[in-house]
Structure formats: C-alpha cells, structure tokens
Amino acid sequence: MTTAPERTAYPPPGMPPADVVRVRDLAVVVGDKPLLVDVDLTVRRGERVGLIGESGSGKSLTALAIMGLLPEELHPSGSVVVTGQGPAGGERVTSVLEAGEPGLAAMRGRDVAMVFQEPMTALNPTMRVGAQVAEIMTIHGTVADRGAAAARAVDLLDKVGLPDPADAARAYPHQLSGGQRQRVVVAMALANDPALLICDEPTTALDVTVQALVLDLIVRGVQARDAGLLFITHDLAVVASVCERVLVMYGGRVVEAGPVLDVFTRPRHRYTRGLIGASDLDLTRPDGGLYTIQGSVPAAGRFPAGCVFRNRCTHATTTCETVPEWDGPGPEDGFACWHPVVHRG
C-alpha cells in the first residue's frame, strides 16, 4: 500500500498573472429564494477555468451576473470586479454590480465576451453575418471605420476557419450550418480581443465531430490573446481537455474547486464524486446498471438547509443540517462537505 501522492500546489509559486474577473461572496436572490450563495471565483489572464454541475445548479446565472445581464427581478449582492484594457492601453476596472448601464455596455463585448449555447438562435436572422461581426467592433470603436470593420470581419471569419470568408460574410445565418454559425459566434466573441471569454455550453448543441473543432478554436483564440476563459459545461470530458482548473457547482454554491486533474481523479465532495461516477460509462454497478446520482435537482429555492446536497447524498447525517465549512487553502482549491471521500493510495 502506497500513500496518496501530494496534491498539486495551487496556485503555482511565483507572481500570479493579473485577475480578469474576481467574484467574491456573490449571492443572487429572487424574492426570498436564494439562487446563488457565497460564490467565489477568480479567473486570471491566460487561465482556463471550468464551471461544471447539473442543469439548475447556477452555472449560467453566475455567468450572467459577471456580464451584468441578470433579469430585472433577480437581485445580486457581493462583488464582481472585471479588469480589462482601457481605451488608452491602461486598465479599466468595472465593478459590475455597482456600475451603471453605460459602464456595463462599455465592458460587455470589449473586456468580457460571451459565447452562448444555441448557435441556431445566437445570430440575428435578419442581418448578414459579416455585418454582425463588424458591428461588434464598431460599437466599441476598436476599428477605425466601417470599412475597416468589414475587412476585419472577413479576416476574423477566415481565422475561425470558414471556407470562402468573403462569401460567408454576405450570408444570412440560415444559410450556414450549426457548426459554421458557432464559428461566427466565436469570431464575434473574439473580435475585440476581450480579457475574459465566457463560454456557456458552447458545444452542447453541436455534432460531436464539430465540437472538437470549435473547442480547438476557442482554446487557440484565448491563448493567442492571453485571455482568461470561463468555460461552463456539464460535459466533464470537455472540461478535462480544455480547462486547467475547475469549480463544481450545486444548488447555487461552489461545492468543490481545484486543478482539473486532482478534482477528476480524487474528488472530495460527495456530489463531485457522484457526477464523475455518473459520467463514466465504463463504470457499472454490480447489477450491470450505470452509476447515477439519486433523485433530481430541486427547483430553485427548494434546496435543503445546511448542505444543499444532503437530500440526495447517500452519506448524509444529521451533521449535514448545518452548512459545511469550506475546507482548503483558498477559494480556488477546496471543498465543502462534512463527509468527504477519503482517498487512499
């Protein structure tokens, strides 16, 4: 019997790169129902961070809160600070929850860009795609004029691998396939060289064969710009191939965080363990069935008090009626579980 290997030190020693987004104690409520509770999240320049969890665990809501795009009836608290490039090459710091609409509009699409899930509906059906890409740049004045924007739009469409980019620029969205449309969306998101790219399940709606190409495009895009990437998905295999660090969300809370390899090979939170077990299709129960997490995600605001996972957890005890403390060196590495998985060698 050997001892468990040391966990990878995180963050790595030395001067860390600048934060592009720093979320602290983010909570979102609708009426008296909590949707997000104490979410801490940091993405630095050049870093690729995954955000995983089942549907309804608060992943997309976290992304919308960072963009300042929460629906009007939701009320956020805490702090969300985005640091991007200012117009004169300096830094522009936006406190998203406090900033007014003009400040947010200046930030969105410039400092932070977002790729949505459905390429079929993410483009305006009545505008040519070239004009839609060019528009992103003219809004923020990152190009000299409309002519330059149109030329750069064609260039961007070429870079995302659309055949005949000049023709594609003149096409309407319905003339392109789903994969092609998602390439256009990626081109739009990268057009202004954002400091942070948020991808909300960008490949879920695509064919498996196209998925890899679009993922590659996203990763190369952020690497070339030394941008941060916040990647939301429930596909663990995608996270493993794209991200360096991962946060696991459940019930509007971050329940575990850490480097991808550690979290996936040695999960500590019972929920993470269940999630990984459920996505491993080679792993079968003694009766031949696949492992699942029993029950389903409760509706927003109906999560149990204490540990949000306890009504579905096979290890839950009365201790779990109190909220588990965060156990770990920092918000980027740790877990919140009273009965964590103990790893032996």
Interface positions with other proteins (CB under 8 A): 67, 69, 72-73, 104-110, 113-114, 116-118, 121-127, 135-136, 139-140, 174, 185, 188
Written as six digits, the tokens of 86 are: 């200012």
Distance (Å, whole) CA 141 – CA 143: 5
Q: Packing angle between helix 129-140 and helix 178-190, nearest 10 degrees?
A: 10
User: Where is 134: in which H helix or E strand?
Assistant: helix 129-140
Q: Which is nearer to other proteins, 41 or 122 (CB)?
A: 122
Instruction: Compare residues 192 and 272 and give the one whose CB is closer to other proteins.
Output: 192
What torsion, rounded to 10 degrees, do the Cα atoms 50, 261, 256, 94 define?
-30
CB of 124 to other proteins, least distance (A): 5
Q: Which two tokens stand for residue 326?
A: 């965060």
**CA distances in angstroms from 119 to 125, 189, 205, 339, listed in the order given:** 11, 13, 8, 41
Q: Which of 176, 240, 234, 236 is nearest to 210 (CA)?
A: 176
Task: State in angstroms the smallest separation of the CB of 121 from other proteins.
Answer: 4
Cβ closer to other proteins: 122 or 236? Answer: 122
Q: What is the DSSP letter of 98?
A: T
Instruction: Output 116 or 271, the one with its CB closest to other proteins.
Output: 116
Question: What are φ and ψ of residue 19, in 5° steps?
Answer: -70, 140
Instruction: Report the amino acid identity of residue 41.
Output: L
Instruction: Pick the closer one to other proteins by CB: 93 or 323.
Output: 93
CB of 325 to other proteins, least distance (A): 35
Shortest Å distance, C-beta 75 to other proteins: 14
Q: Output 123 or 248, the one with its CB closest to other proteins.
A: 123
CB of 188 or CB of 230, closer to other proteins: 188
Nearer residue to other proteins within complex by CB, 205 or 275 = 205
Buried b (16+ CB within 10 A) or exposed e, 172-211: ebeebeebbbbbbbbbbbbbbbbbbbbbbbbbebbeeebb
Which residue lies nearer to other proteins by CB, 40 or 111?
111
Q: CB of residue 38 vs other proteins: minimum separation in angstroms? A: 25
Q: How far is the CB of 144 from other proteins (least distance, A)?
A: 18
Q: Which helix (H) or strand (E) is 129 found in, with range?
A: helix 129-140
* Alpha carbons 214 and 203: distance in angstroms, whole number: 7
| Residue 298 beta carbon to other proteins: minimum distance, rounded to whole angstroms | 25
Furthest-apart CA atoms within the chain: distance in Å:
68
Phi, psi for 184 (deg, rounded to 5):
-60, -45
Query: Residue 94 CB, nearest distance to other proteins (Å)?
Result: 11
Q: Which two tokens stand for residue 17?
A: 């790169």
Q: Using alpha carbons only, how large is the chain's radius of gyration in Å?
A: 21
Minimum separation from the CB atom of position 313 to other proteins (A): 35
